[in-house]
Chain A
Amino acid sequence: MKRRTFLKGTVASGMLSVAASAGLLTPRMVLAAWPETAFAAKSIDDALDTLLGDTTLSTSGDIKIKAPEIAENGAVVPITISTGMTAESISVLIAKNPSPLACSFALGGSTLGFVSTRVKMGETSDLIAIVKSGGKLYSAKKTVKVTIGGCGG
């Protein structure tokens, strides 16, 4: 427990200095200071609430998740999220991971609604992509089957 509070303290002070040195940032980008509590959250709602300040999701057909149906190795699951919307941010959550929030991307004004990366999945789970556009949250889901987990040994 002590270690945890210690870690939180150091991260919080680190974030302050990042925010202070980031005088040129637009308000939107300030949100991108690393969200410690969102990444530590154990439920999807908690993660969304702390990361984006909202848990109301509308399902959207305009978000495409490209991911394998069956991932042989949960440690490396290639995913691509794309959307035609003007996205402010794209976040990826993995429902059954110990901490659902996997990654979040804050996009600049000229950046297209497209990100591609590789994530770890502990077990077969829903992959949830959340796009923030015009202050609203839109989501899409895809189930990925995992044969060998990527968390733990």
Chain B
Amino acid sequence: MAKKKIRIRAKMKGDVAEVKTLMSHPMETGFRKNKKTGKKIPPHFIKEVICEHKGNKVLVASWGVAVSKNPYLSFKFKGAAKGDTITVSWNDNKGESATADAKIS
């Protein structure tokens, strides 16, 4: 894998963990046309993002094609501590997937 597909930054702010993630994905809508051939570019987008903390799903995102290319996602949750691991994974409409984890600082 040439590029890291998911980047995560998680930080404790008081008793709230703030998680920021950046995924690397084309998020193709299926509406765009290839300018040379005039053919439509098939859709290719992330359908689901699952964020887990200690086996609990803290956030499950369902996305359509309207989410921007290289999606950014941020959320906050309680009940975490410094050093805990947060896992983020996505799967897309072509059956591809990626998973990454990070320690909360």
Contacts and interface: CB of A to CB of B under 8 A. Distances in A.
Given A108-B77, A110-B79, A112-B76, A76 B68 contact: yes
Measured as residues with beta carbon below 8 angstroms from the partner, the interface class of chain A is 35 or more
B29 A117 contact: no
Contacts of A121: 66
A32 B74 CA distance: 18
Contacts of A116: 72-75
A98 B64 CA distance: 11
A131 B71 CA distance: 21
A89 B16 CA distance: 19
A85 interface: no
Contacts of B31: 98, 151-152
Contacts, number: 120
Contact of B29 (A25, A32, A151): A151
A102 B75 contact: no
B64 A39 contact: yes
A114 B74 CA distance: 8
Contacts of B47: 34
Contacts of A29: 57, 60
A120 B67 contact: yes
A65 interface: no
A150 B77 contact: no
Interface string A12-55: 00100000000011000100101100010000000000000000
